Amino acid sequence: MLKAKVPREFVAKDGRKVVLRKPRWEDLDDLLDFINSLVEESADIMRETPVTTKEEAEWLERRLASIAKGETIGVVAEVDGKVVGNSEVGRRGGSMSHVGGLGIAVKKGYRGIGIGKELMKTLIGESRKAGLKVLVLDVFGSNTVAKSLYSKMGFKDAGRIPRGVFKKGKYIDLLRMTLEL
């Protein structure tokens, strides 16, 4: 079972108070704004088109159910009552049930102040407590800032899919990184 022990608070490098907590249904509007802000800025995510309210509601319903079943650790970062970071670790199935797939994103304007690092620390700690043995993530080869953070958190390069992503008319390598817990 993946059961995160959140919330917790910390002060970001810019002095703002950040709350890390489990996502909840009331976050729907914030999460919709969050994902669409990433799409709008062409952030290094797979999504390229805006998300509708219906799509986000369906996604959030599935995610909350997965968290309730202990299949996913979900953690959001909140600043001034708004969700500005979203992250998760989803347990793989069958003979890979010791492996968790990690995903994380932080909204523009909130990067570089420690939110991503604290989300990562929380996910890694909760994954260990849940008995996971390996975390896996994928990162765009062009996202040197994220890759640097993941390396600082102990993730190692595990592979590369050359031209694994086609976005905005160009190919980008997709990197796989892993952390043994």
Is the Cβ–Cβ distance between 127 and 135 less than 8 Å? yes
Pairing of strands 134-140, 170-180: antiparallel
The mean per-residue pLDDT over the stretch 129-158 comes to: 96
User: What's the pTM?
Assistant: 0.92
Is the Cβ–Cβ distance between 115 and 56 less than 8 Å? no
- Phi, psi of 135, rounded to the nearest 5 degrees: -110, 140
What's the alpha-carbon Rg for the chain, to the nearest Å?
16
Give the CATH number of domain 8-132. 3.40.630.30
Whether the predicted pLDDT of 1 surpasses 80? no
The pLDDT of residue 6 is 56
CA distance 117 to 47: 23
Q: What is the pLDDT of residues 81-116, one digit of tens each?
A: 999 999 999 999 999 999 999 999 999 999 999 999
The pLDDT of residue 5 is 54
Bin 160: left if φ > 0, else alpha if -120 < ψ < 50, else beta: beta
